Amino acid sequence: MSDKEKGSGRIKYMIMLTGIFVLAGAAYALYWFSAGRYSITTDNAYVSGNIIQITPLTSGSVTEVLVNDTDFVKTGTVLVRLDRSDAENALEQAEAELARTVRQVKTLYTSDSRLETVVRQRETSLAKAKNDLARRAVLEGTGAIAQEEIDHAAEAVRLAEQALNEAKEQLKTSRSLTDKTVADRHPDVEKAAAQVRASYLALKRTDIVAPEDGYVARRSVQKGQWINTGAPLMALVPLSQIWVDANFKETQLRNMRIGQPVELFSDLLGKRIKYHGVIQGFSAGTGSAFSLLPAQNATGNWIKVVQRLAVRVVLDKKEITDNPLQIGLSMEAKVNVRDNGGKRLTDRVSVKDVSASAPYNTWKKEADAIVAGIIAGNR
């Protein structure tokens, strides 16, 4: 092959190579202007979620530990049992005291009726004594009746008035204990009923239950151990309530808004599983602002460091059910910022979730039922 043919072949090769680069550049430019410039990515992202610390509401000796790490439990499942002996005795005493109080209060209302009858009798006696005195007073001075008899009639009126006043005072005192209330709502009954409820709750709290569905982690409690109120026993992780905290550089946040779509990949499952989510909100401060020793920038040797801000991304619930994630796993997040007309800071008012208190609400209803049964049985 001549040098001329070789040169011609090299030129064609260079032309083809240049064309390939031009086409690749054009394709990339087309991608960049159509989609690439609206995509912001970070691999500084991690799965986060609620970690519920299980702590006892009463102190006592552990008699049973019913779960281990990695176990899945449902709401209301008993995790740990404490000794119940003292709590059972206290409940029995409180129930007996409530029954005694109901019977005692019942006598107060019976006393009211009895004293009302006494007052009416005393009023009748006073009226009779006054009539007797009036009849004798007409004959005074005529010699038909002795003065001593008139004096006796006047004394009878005075004694009848005194007896009536005493009966009225007794009725007033008795009514002060029952006025504007009924037996079931009497203060003494309410006080005894409150003690029954407190004793019942103390008994139920010897069973430490799961406030949410979740997985047991970091169990430290052992059978036979004495635990105090508030001591950490284990953690409960509801993996259905997870999100991703993606830490973007401050220079990447300019066009990010709440509600923008996010594509996510986990290091655990790789690119074969894609998760979808949306931006729920932005942290109120950077990581350095919340650190134990925040940066002091008012110094002569200050060096600017690009800060990162946590962006919370909520995930599609069906996707995390099909492919569960654990707290702390690394993620890669890619945000589409094409639509940047939304808000950067939310004005949504948080609504409290009361589901976590479901077992405790049930206990209160059970205690109310016990109180109502004792009152009805001793009314």
pLDDT of 237: 94
Residue 27 has pLDDT above 70, yes or no: no
pLDDT tier for residue 157 given thresholds of 50, 70 and 90: confident
pLDDT tier for residue 144 given thresholds of 50, 70 and 90: low
**What DSSP character marks residue 236?**
E
pLDDT of 102: 83
Mean pLDDT, the chain, integer: 82
pLDDT of 366: 85
Instruction: Provide mean pLDDT across the span 109-114.
Output: 65
Compute the distance between CA of residue 69 and CA of residue 87 in angstroms, rounded to an integer: 29
pLDDT of 240: 87
pLDDT of 131: 80
Name the nearest CA neighbour of 240 among 332, 351, 318, 333: 318
Name the nearest CA neighbour of 375 among 93, 97, 177, 89: 97
Residue 352 has pLDDT above 70, yes or no: no
pLDDT of 354: 45
pLDDT tier for residue 73 given thresholds of 50, 70 and 90: very high
pLDDT of 91: 94
pLDDT of 203: 93
Instruction: Provide mean pLDDT across the span 356-372.
Output: 76
Instruction: Provide mean pLDDT across the span 135-164.
Output: 70
pLDDT of 367: 85
Backbone dihedral region for residue 316 (phi beyond 0: left; psi -120 to 50: alpha; all else: beta) = beta
φ/ψ of residue 20, rounded to 5: -60, -45
Residue 355 has pLDDT above 50, yes or no: no
pLDDT of 307: 87
**Of the listed ranges 247-256, 287-296, 343-352, the one predicted with least confidence:** 343-352
Instruction: Provide mean pLDDT across the span 208-234.
Output: 94
- Total residues found in the chain within this entry: 379
Residue 175 has pLDDT above 80, yes or no: no
Residue 145 has pLDDT above 70, yes or no: no
Give 242-309 as a DSSP string.
EEEEEEEEGGG-TT--TT-EEEEEETTTEEEEEEEEEEEEE-SS-TTTTSSS-----STT------EE
Which residue would you say has higher pLDDT here, 151 or 81? 81
- Across the chain, where does the E strand assignment appear? 39-49, 52-54, 60-65, 72-73, 78-82, 207-209, 214-217, 226-227, 234-237, 242-249, 261-266, 270-282, 308-315, 330-336
Q: How far apart are the first and last CA of the chain?
A: 121
Instruction: Provide mean pLDDT across the span 112-118.
Output: 68
Residue 177 has pLDDT above 60, yes or no: no
pLDDT of 289: 76
pLDDT tier for residue 140 given thresholds of 50, 70 and 90: low
Q: What share of the chain is helix, strand, coil (3-state, %, to 5)?
A: 45, 20, 35
Q: Read off the tokens for 371.
A: 């109180």
**Of the listed ranges 84-98, 164-178, 253-267, 291-305, the one predicted with least confidence:** 164-178
Instruction: Provide mean pLDDT across the span 202-229.
Output: 93
Dihedral, 220, 221, 222, 227 alpha carbons, nearest 10: 140
